[in-house]
Amino acid sequence: MLMFYLAMLDTPEQKSKFQMIYENYTGQILQTAHSLARNHMDAEDIAQDVFLKIINNIDTIQTENPLRLRALIIQMTKFASIDLLRKKKHKENPNDLINDWEQFPAVTTDIEECVFSHELINMAVNFVSQMDEKYRAPLTLAVLGYRIKEIASLLGMSEANTKVRISRARHMLRAYILQEESQVEQEHDIS
């Protein structure tokens, strides 16, 4: 299966990064997916969705900090599990969608880590929503999985300009998150 995923990537750097993630985190992804879906077949489907999302975002995934990488992968797995369960529930009873993701068991037992991650996600979402439209639109479409060519077509821009705007938006977001992270950590240390 690894070879199938690697064939979807372009550069040797991307392939190397993905292979490291695949080899080190497949067990964690399957375990997390199985604990949420409680079904081996569904856990495998969830893992496949997670790997495809990792491939689509391989250039933005930071691997330097194993704890953050693990947290990101667990979050991705949790959201993929919720999506799958919503789809299954919708097929069983279309009028009774799952409305509250909090009903699923927490993946981590570290409450501080959960709160910290939740705060950072909220801050990032707020920051992106306040970005200039010329950066927000391409970044949002990229996060949703659209390819550069599709984004350029949708926004009426050249592919080169689309890449530049997405890159700049990612850099702005990354800088903002790092700034907010250090601020939250400082506040936590003072307490």
Q: How far apart are the first and last CA of the chain?
A: 47
The Cβ of residue 44 has, within 10 Å, a number of other Cβ atoms equal to 16
Same domain (yes/no): 18, 80 = yes
Q: Give the pLDDT confidence of 161-181 residue by residue, as tens digits.
A: 999 999 999 999 888 888 877
Placement of tokens 């997390």 in the chain? 32
Q: Is residue 36 part of a domain?
A: yes
Q: Give the pLDDT confidence of 23-74 residue by residue, as tens digits.
A: 999 998 999 888 888 888 888 999 999 999 999 889 888 888 888 888 888 8
Contact criterion met (CB below 8 Å) for 151 and 162: yes
pLDDT at 17: 93
Confidence of residue 94 (pLDDT cuts 50, 70, 90): very low
* Separation CA 111–CA 84 (nearest Å): 25
For residue 140, what are its two tokens? 């949002």
- The CATH number given to whatever domain includes residue 172 is 1.10.10.10
Residue 36's domain comprises: 1-100
The count of structural domains within the chain is: 2
What percent of the residues of the chain are helix, what percent strand, and what percent coil, each to the nearest 5? 80, 0, 20
Same domain (yes/no): 17, 89 = yes
pLDDT at 13: 92
Q: Is residue 142 part of a domain?
A: yes
